Amino acid sequence: MLDFFTIFSKGGLVLWCFQGVSDSCTGPVNALIRSVLLQVGFQKILTLTYVDKLIDDVHRLFRDKYRTEIQQQSALSLLNGTFDFQNDFLRLLREAEESSKIRAPTTMKKFEDSEKAKKPVRSMIETRGEKPKEKAKNSKKRGAKKEGSDGPLATSKAVPAEKSGLPVGPENGVELSKEELIRRKREEFIQKHGRGMEKSNKSTKSDAPKEKGKKAPRVWELGGCANKEALDYSTPTTNGSPEAALSEDINLIRGTGPGGQLQDLDCSSSDDEGAAQNSTKPSATKGTLGGMFGMLKGLVGSKSLSREDMESVLDKMRDHLIAKNVAADIAVQLCESVANKLEGKVMGTFSTVTSTVKQALQESLVQILQPQRRVDMLRDIMDAQRRQRPYVVTFCGVNGVGKSTNLAKISFWLLENGFSVLIAACDTFRAGAVEQLRTHTRRLSALHPPEKHGGRTMVQLFEKGYGKDAAGIAMEAIAFARNQGFDVVLVDTAGRMQDNAPLMTALAKLITVNTPDLVLFVGEALVGNEAVDQLVKFNRALADHSMAQTPRLIDGIVLTKFDTIDDKVGAAISMTYITSKPIVFVGTGQTYCDLRSLNAKAVVAALMKA
């Protein structure tokens, strides 16, 4: 049944309409349209088969019948005019309905009507012993050649097949039994492969008497060796002469890319394009009924949001954030703040609850990753140069997060920008910490030798060995840098857990005594809830063990191992949310150029990606 049909011009003027439903139904329909705005095409709702034909017939008849009136009259006269098209439309509708009834329904094709049913059953049976005609001819030709070349050997091979008395196959009109077919195949296999097996046995016997020589062990360039001379790396220095030149490839140590300019962090993965293409495929396979209800679901027009509307969407968003490595408490607080922000807000016409909540959450995440205070090290270093004092940076964090490695990356970045660096080895607890910094200093000196800078030493290590007071070493390093004219002092501290009270007291003492310009917390991007615990306890310990009235806390964050987490970037949100401090650097690899600045929008896009 056709409920409503209208004819209108290209300008939107309604010329004529047909209403098949009584006026009593117009009230509920108009109320539904006012509360929930639907925008659907007739193919999605109507399942009538004659709709396309009816539209074409009505369009043709109406155009031909009222062509002159439409062309001559103005828009105002068209609005006031009437077109007597009721009887013609009912006639066309009746004809279209009758034509759809006359059309016979399509039936499935039966097996008896197919071409396969016309073939005999015998022609579709394939016997394992049967060979096609062309292959049989080729095999006969090969057999004739073998007889001419091999002589008695070929005739002896053909004898067993003749002696067995087996029929050749179905081409002679005789079918083989199952046992006879197996026996025949077995004999053919022995005839074909028997000679090859004999040859292989001979070859193995001939190889046996060869002498077995011992293989010399391969010597790797950086491998282990039991030789004392190879293991002795302690080349003595005479009269303070510098260490020997590097044997490593400097380009491999440096890496690729501009070292003096920090590039923005790129969080896009190679699977994004494929995921975007695949995401469009399921929508095309939805049925008519599913597409209709899909439009109704979550589509609200001119309605204020309530907690009940957002509850299911916020639950999914919270679980999604936790899956992306955001700390659970912070994910709950984020969703709660979004709910408070959106509660009572009037939504747009075509806005869904999901899209509105997602957009609000994205805006909140971008604001979190862009704190009010921005750390600009290069500007602060130039300001310290005008005051003729070194700029001091202290690195702290838990064990194994990459403090020394990222300190070397930052040193290389500063060297590329033309600043001289003094590295203070204040990790007097971990075995090998001083040697690690010495190796980095030697490599950085090879990348920036004094010859390139007018004989000026650009990077130097200040160390006093192990077991000493870290705060005293840092104080001496700062005084040495002031006397020698170094621009920056990078203080490396020992890794310590946030629950270790003696080590946290020593760190608070180092920061209080030396008052560095910047305190950077080094944390890895692999942690989830642990990031919150580490930062909260580090700040609390610095505040509790500080002797100053206004204790010095963490100023910024260095996020390491970012190249190992794919799109699970939640640790960045957790760290900045709990401290309100910016992420100054992001470590993305193992070379000196693998240092990036945080791109908030890229991180949020990776975080919100399904």
**136: alpha, beta or left? (left if phi > 0; alpha if psi -120 to 50):** alpha
- pLDDT per residue as tens digits for the range 62-108: 888 888 777 776 666 666 667 788 888 888 888 888 877 766 556 67
Calculate the dihedral angle through the C-alpha atoms of 533, 535, 536, 537, rounding to the nearest 10 degrees: 80
- pLDDT per residue as tens digits for the range 116-135: 777 766 666 665 555 554 44
Per DSSP, what are the bridge partners of residue 18? Answer: 5
**Which pLDDT belongs to residue 501?**
82
Does residue 44 surpass a pLDDT of 50? Answer: no
- pLDDT per residue as tens digits for the range 290-344: 443 444 444 444 567 888 888 888 899 899 998 888 888 888 988 988 888 888 8
Which candidate, 441, 437, 438, places its Cα nearest to that of 395? Answer: 437
Mean pLDDT of the chain: 74
Residue 366 · residue 601 · CB < 8 Å: yes
At 37, is the pLDDT very low, low, confident or very high (cuts 50, 70, 90)?
A: very low
Is the model more confident about 558 or about 32?
A: 558
- pLDDT per residue as tens digits for the range 240-293: 334 444 555 566 666 666 666 677 776 655 444 444 444 444 444 344 444 434
**Which pLDDT belongs to residue 42?**
42
**Which pLDDT belongs to residue 160?**
43
H/E element holding 122?
Answer: helix 121-124
Does residue 234 surpass a pLDDT of 50? Answer: no
- pLDDT per residue as tens digits for the range 568-600: 888 888 888 888 888 999 998 888 988 988 888
At 43, is the pLDDT very low, low, confident or very high (cuts 50, 70, 90)?
A: very low
Residues 6+ apart with CB under 8 A from 86: 18
Does residue 426 surpass a pLDDT of 70? Answer: yes
Does residue 381 surpass a pLDDT of 50? Answer: yes
